[in-house]
Amino acid sequence: MSAGDLLQRLWAPHRMAYVTGEDPSSPEQDDSCPFCRIPDGNDADSLVLTRGELAYAVLNLHPYNPGHLMVLPFRHVAAYEDLTAAEAADVALLTQQALRTVRAVSAPHGFNVGLNLGGVAGGSVADHLHQHVVPRWSGDANFITVVGETKLLPQLLADTRNLLTESWER
Classified as helix, coil or strand, 30 is: coil
Question: Alpha-carbon distance 107 to 37, whole Å?
Answer: 31
Q: What are phi and psi of 150, to 5 degrees?
A: -135, 135
> Catalytic residue numbers?
130
Q: Residue 20 belongs to what H/E stretch? A: helix 16-20
Whether the CA torsion 151, 6, 147, 119 is positive or negative: it is negative
Question: Alpha-carbon distance 164 to 170, whole Å?
Answer: 12
Whether the CA torsion 59, 16, 80, 53 is positive or negative: it is negative
- 58 - beta bridge partners? 48, 70
Are 121 and 114 spatial neighbours (Cβ–Cβ below 8 Å)?
A: no
